[in-house]
Amino acid sequence: MRLWQTISLVENGLGGGNEILGGVWAVLIAFALWQGPQMPRALGGLCVVIGVCGFLTVIPQIGDLPGAVFGLGYIVLFVWIGALLLKRA
């Protein structure tokens, strides 16, 4: 029982179902992408959507949709950036 409580405390301390830190990172990535012409501007737009959804996970009344968009959006973001990097290599 103590081990389960410890694991739960660590999990909640690192994320706890809200993705505020991940949302901040996504918005910062968007600003970095918009600074130069190398990456598509739509990629920065996707980052902003991911960031906003990360912020919205704090509001429990709106359900799990922002969390799902946040998680799946990051997967799309990583695949898109990876494809762009492979194409340029």
Question: What stretches of the chain show up as alpha helix (H) in DSSP?
Answer: 2-14, 20-34, 41-56, 65-88
User: What local confidence, expressed as pLDDT, does residue 1 receive?
Assistant: 85
Name the pTM for this structure: 0.77
Over residues 42-60, the pLDDT tens digits come to 999 999 999 999 999 888 8
**What residue ranges of the chain have pLDDT lower than 50?**
none
